A = this chain, B = another copy of it.
């Protein structure tokens, strides 16, 4: 936890918060904070400042927030990420990684090689997804919460919604065949789609191409989605 994230709804006064959840445990046990210590803290979807420990005991931690020298979050990546739903255990890690990398818009979609049972996983509950995103933001020192959409049907998404999302930006599907060379990193807005284990099937690649996505090769190695995502985002965007 490189940044303590506070939701505005948690404030008991404009500059006071009382935490009792995993953050309190982390402050006590990992940071081993003492009364008077100052921690990096951010308001969810807001600025970054500091929090001073006023009280701490086994029941929780009381903090005084100080935004007198506010800082901005790191720049977001100007990308829309479309991901074939990974298996649930991997989804957690992927959401954390994606949030830590600065992605702010994620579409989880169905695909032929996505096991239908994945869509019933409790890990797709909004509260669980929210928690993974927070973990990624806390890791990266970012306050801006990504938005995650879920689309359980491939065809309506790709026909009705994807062309609008892809319009006006570079749009790519990671796919090794008939691929364009990878462009140089750029700050311009982009959309990227990454398939499931085993990849999108040819019908799906056709539909994605028709929606305006060009095929992009990540090289001769087949990577797991949790590795492919950072590789792809690093190829497309410069260091920031």
Listed in ascending order, the chain A residues whose CB lies under 8 Å from chain B are: 2, 74-75, 93, 96-97, 100-102, 139-142, 181-182, 217-224, 226-227, 230-231, 233-235, 239-240
Q: How many copies make up the complex?
A: 2
Q: How far is the CB of A117 from chain B (nearest CB, A)?
A: 15
Q: Is the CB of B74 within 8 A of A224?
A: no
Q: Is the CB of A227 within 8 A of B141?
A: no
Q: A230-B234, A235-B234 are in contact. Are A221 and B142 (CB under 8 A)?
A: yes
User: In the bound complex, what is the Cα–Cα distance between A220 and B72 (angstroms)?
Assistant: 11
Q: Is the CB of A220 within 8 A of B74?
A: yes
Closest to A198 in B: B2
Q: Is the CB of A101 within 8 A of B221?
A: yes
User: In the bound complex, what is the Cα–Cα distance between A165 and B73 (angstroms)?
Assistant: 38
User: In the bound complex, what is the Cα–Cα distance between A101 and B182 (angstroms)?
Assistant: 17
Q: Is the CB of B97 within 8 A of A227?
A: yes
User: In the bound complex, what is the Cα–Cα distance between A102 and B139 (angstroms)?
Assistant: 26
Residues on B with beta carbons closer than 8 Å to the beta carbon of A74: 219-221
